[in-house]
């Protein structure tokens, strides 16, 4: 079982790397052909929560595959905590994409559709299954939830501060937001709508994170931390 999951983790990490590179290269070629700002695009590309989450996903899968091949027993607690954080982000990415972004037209000529599905659907679905069934998961304290909420808070602050100064790499039009629901200029009620979506996504992250931690404490063949553990 450990070897099987190790092989699948390595394969999924490779698939995701190829998906990220394929999308990046296609967009760079498109923007370059239009005489656009490549440096600006690079910053925009890594400003997507999806891309950041998937980069973390690749790191977790690579480390996780190594641990399954190299050792037996529970994984180090720090790795299980990191795995829980990235699982939460990836599941949230899948939920938000399918609820809010699935039917929004994608930029023509620079969107790799299969890559889009890997990053938003296949990856989140696999990592959830990996969390539930792969061996090695150690029980976590609830304080790991502080790790879970840390990056999204920093990302949201960064996005709302940078976006008014960001620009579309082809047209140069400002502002540039990674996701349309964060743009107060196009949202029905301006910043009120943006605040609603930010709070909604924060609630999803917390709920998913709590569920991930709960699974680590309860789904262990009857072995769990005490109910009052932090």
- Whether the CB-CB separation of 50 and 119 falls below 8 Å is answered with yes
pLDDT digits (tens, 9 = 90+) for 159-174: 999 999 999 999 999 9
- What is the Cα–Cα distance from 86 to 83, expressed in whole angstroms? 5
Looking at residue 187, what is its pLDDT? 83
Q: Tell me the CA distances in angstroms from 104 to 14, 95, 99, one per residue in order.
A: 28, 15, 11
**pLDDT over threshold 90, residue 71:** no
| Residue 222: per-residue pLDDT | 38
Site of tokens 């696999």: 126
pLDDT per position as a tens digit, 179-199: 988 999 888 889 999 999 999
Tens digits of residue pLDDT in 80-133: 999 999 999 999 999 999 888 887 776 656 889 999 999 999 999 999 999 999
Whole-number Å distance between alpha carbons of 182 and 176:
10
């Amino acid at each position: 079982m450990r070897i099987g999951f190790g092989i699948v983790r390595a394969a999924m990490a490779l698939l995701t790397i190829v998906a990220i590179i394929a999308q990046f290269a296609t967009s760079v070629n498109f923007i370059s052909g239009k005489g656009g700002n490549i440096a600006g695009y690079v910053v925009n590309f890594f400003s997507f929560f999806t891309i950041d989450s998937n980069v973390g996903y690749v790191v977790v899968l690579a480390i996780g595959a190594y641990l399954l091949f190299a050792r037996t027993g529970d994984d180090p607690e720090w790795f299980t905590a990191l795995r829980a954080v990235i699982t939460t982000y990836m599941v949230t990415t899948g939920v938000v994409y399918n609820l809010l972004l699935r039917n929004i037209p994608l930029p023509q000529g620079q969107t790799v559709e299969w890559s889009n599905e890997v990053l938003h659907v296949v990856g989140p679905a696999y990592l959830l299954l990996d969390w539930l069934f792969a061996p090695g998961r150690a029980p976590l304290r609830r304080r790991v939830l502080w790790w879970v909420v840390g990056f999204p808070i920093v990302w949201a602050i960064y996005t709302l501060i940078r976006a008014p100064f960001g620009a579309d790499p082809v047209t140069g039009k400002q502002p540039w937001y990674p996701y349309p629901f964060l743009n107060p200029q196009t949202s029905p009620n301006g910043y009120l709508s943006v605040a609603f979506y930010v709070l909604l996504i924060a609630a999803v992250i917390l709920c998913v994170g709590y569920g991930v931690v709960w699974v680590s404490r309860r789904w262990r063949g009857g072995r769990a931390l005490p109910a009052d553990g932090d």
